[in-house]
Amino acid sequence: MFNDLRASDVLAAAHRIREVVQRTPLVHSSELSALAGAEVHLKLENKQTTGSFKLRGALNSVASLGDDVRRRGVVASSAGNHGLGLAYAARRFGVPATIFVPSNAPKVKRDGIAALGARVDESQPHYDAAHAAALKFAADHGATFVNPCAGATLLAGQGTVALEILEELPDLATFIVPVGGGGLLGGCASLLRRASPRTRIIGAQSVATDAMARSLTAGRVVEIGYPSTLADGLAGQIDDEGFEIGVHALDGIDTVEEDDIARAIVWLDAHGMGRVEGSGAVGVAALLARRLTSLASPVAIVVSGGNIDDDRLADLKQRFA
């Protein structure tokens, strides 16, 4: 699957979603540059509409559906950013959307999804049950299931993050990206591997959500648990497609501790980069913890999202300032 993705699909996605998606800032950081021994730039997808890059893939997925298919609606299971992105994309194209939100999900995210006009189904107790219910809903109603981290149109949309970076840094040497199920990684790599083959691609994960890192070490898909983590957007298993993406797309992968993530969130807030959620902070965490040094310059780190609760952010700022 990953090797069938074409760089031209990312170019087409960018053209298709250009009028809706924000071109997010790419900001140079002197402090991180000094730590890395290279010029470091942050791609602030926390400033994206709906608060994360997930809007890009959702928009491209919905935009690529034919009129007949659109009418039957889209469906997903998500407790967070994918649900927000898909709800926004669906509203933009006038498509009915149903999002299965686990009943244990944060109320703030559920409310955000509902505020965008999507139908929210909270009947399922946890993510796996919500996922199964969403698939069943798609089968019963002829709605299109939009996977949060797979599918050619979704990945092509996520790849537009890398496209915007290359437009400003055509000699990009190091690309650092948060890795969960592999959607953002796969989309970005499908462009970078072709359009900028010398760019080194490094994944970042929390040690609590290291399915990709463990699977690459084992040489096969490894199941992990669901421990509590600040990087909740990266939590969960990877599937065969995600594993294939990791094998082909990554030159390296690093895992960071929860305290590193917390410090990165606070650091980003204090340095004017805005609110950043744990999943979005793992790349910066790896640099601040001096786990990634002597990087080839220039470096771009994707800060993938900003949807963090007020209370949690306030608590972290108090404890890690």
Tell me the helix, strand and coil percentages in the chain, rounded to 5. Answer: 50, 15, 35
Longest dimension (CA), the chain: 55
Q: How far is the CB of 12 from a second copy (least distance, A)?
A: 4
Q: Which of 24, 98, 196, 304 is the binder for a second copy (CB under 8 A)?
A: 196
Q: Tell whether residue 194 is a contact of a second copy (CB under 8 A).
A: yes
Do residues 75 and 145 lie in contact, with contact meaning Cβ atoms separated by under 8 Å? yes
Q: How far is the CB of 61 from a second copy (least distance, A)?
A: 15
Q: Tell whether residue 3 is a contact of a second copy (CB under 8 A).
A: no
Q: How far is the CB of 11 from a second copy (least distance, A)?
A: 5
Q: How far is the CB of 62 from a second copy (least distance, A)?
A: 17
- What's the CA angle centered on 177, arms 239 and 175, to 5 degrees? 125
Q: Which segment (25-33, 70-78, 165-173, 260-268) binds a second copy by CB under 8 A?
A: 165-173
Q: How far is the CB of 195 from a second copy (least distance, A)?
A: 4
Q: How far is the CB of 168 from a second copy (least distance, A)?
A: 7
Q: How far is the CB of 152 from a second copy (least distance, A)?
A: 10
Q: Tell whether residue 195 is a contact of a second copy (CB under 8 A).
A: yes
Do residues 56 and 160 lie in contact, with contact meaning Cβ atoms separated by under 8 Å? yes
Q: Tell whether residue 28 is a contact of a second copy (CB under 8 A).
A: no
Q: Which of 95, 101, 134, 166 is the binder for a second copy (CB under 8 A)?
A: 166
Q: Tell whether residue 20 is a contact of a second copy (CB under 8 A).
A: no
Q: Tell whether residue 61 is a contact of a second copy (CB under 8 A).
A: no
Q: How far is the CB of 204 from a second copy (least distance, A)?
A: 22
HSE on the CB side for 288, CA within 13 Å?
20
Give residue for tokens 């959702």.
58
> Residue 180: is it exposed, middle or buried by C-beta count within 10 angstroms (0-12/13-18/19+)?
buried
Report d(CA 318, CA 315) in Å as an integer. Answer: 5
Of 3 and 217, which has the nearer Cβ to a second copy?
Answer: 3
One-letter amino acid for residue 208 of the chain: A
Q: Which segment (8-16, 29-37, 49-57, 200-208) binds a second copy by CB under 8 A?
A: 8-16
Q: Which of 168, 240, 251, 315 is the binder for a second copy (CB under 8 A)?
A: 168
Q: Tell whether residue 277 is a contact of a second copy (CB under 8 A).
A: no
Q: How far is CA 49 from CA 55, 276, 277, 304, in A?
A: 7, 14, 15, 12
Report d(CA 230, CA 69) in Å as an integer. Answer: 37
Measure the CA dihedral 306/310/315/320, to 10°. Answer: 30
Question: Structure tokens of 304?
Answer: 């993938």
Smallest Cα–Cα separation from 81: which of 169, 18, 11, 154? 154
Smallest Cα–Cα separation from 9: which of 250, 242, 186, 238? 186
Of 13 and 90, which has the nearer Cβ to a second copy?
Answer: 13
Strand partners, 41: 28, 300
One-letter amino acid for residue 207 of the chain: V
Q: How far is the CB of 167 from a second copy (least distance, A)?
A: 4
Of 11 and 207, which has the nearer Cβ to a second copy?
Answer: 11
Q: Tell whether residue 172 is a contact of a second copy (CB under 8 A).
A: yes
Q: Which of 31, 111, 171, 251 is the binder for a second copy (CB under 8 A)?
A: 171
Q: Tell whether residue 6 is a contact of a second copy (CB under 8 A).
A: yes
Interacting residue ranges for a second copy, rule: CB under 8 A: 6-9, 11-12, 14-15, 163, 166-168, 170-172, 191, 194-197
